Amino acid sequence: MRFLEGKRVLVTGGSRGLGRASCLSFARHGARVAFTYVKNDQAAREVVAELVAQGASGRSFCVSVLDIAGTDRLVQELEETWGGIDVLVNNAGISQNLPLGLLEAEDFDHVMAVNVKGTYLTSRAVLRGMIRRKSGVVLNIGSLAGIRMVEAPIHYCASKAAIVGLTEALAKEVGRLGVRVLCLAPGLLGDGVSHDLADDRLAEYIRHCALGRMPQLEEVAELAAFMVSDKNSYMNGATIVMDGGV
């Protein structure tokens, strides 16, 4: 079943990890996909090639979520060439595996800026068109670390907890205007934060997971595709936890 036939989707941080898997999943479900990235041109080209190989329209933009002018330009370009954006996935995010004693104020500020302010800035740019058309879905990528007491860097946990609050407040504000806002909060993924974990900590996490494993990125991306689809038209303001039972 193709959940997203004809939808126009923008994914931030789409060149690797869950962002890449989401781009490919959305394309399989019939969407046109654009994504942003900030560093790896080769990885971005590879994702575009994979999208095209699936018969989908794929576009990449080298733009940071903190670049206000750049974000406004890419949104305007998609509005003009596509006629609008139906789905925004705020996936771009960073972390640092630092304990409190080594965590500098600049580190805290940077993680909060990318993960929270970046979500706000991109949402603001895209929502203008969604509100004008009275249609659209924003999916924010949160984390189990922002919902439950788990061992993770405090600035990362704080940023992901803020995403839950941002999701709820924004959903309340724009729901009456025909736009839904949701949050998907995965547990530990085989990409990102897990790369910096010691083997014993990773094993301890998996031991506490009822399914005894981390998810495949494709599994999370498939849920994301359903969440932003018209098949899920009455869910708004919700945070869905996908952690395998931790």
- Is 122 within 8 Å of 166 (Cβ atoms)? no
d(CA 221, CA 26): 8
Find the catalytic residue in 37, 120, 156, 234.
Answer: 156
Pairwise CA distance, residues 237 & 145, whole Å: 18
205 counts as catalytic: no
Give the residue from 148, 149, 173 showing the smallest Cα distance to 237.
Answer: 173
Are 175 and 134 in contact by the 8 Å Cβ rule? The answer is no
3-state helix, strand, coil in the chain (%, to 5): 50, 15, 35
The amino acid occupying position 163 is: I
CA 177 to chain centre: 22
Q: Which residues are catalytic?
A: 156
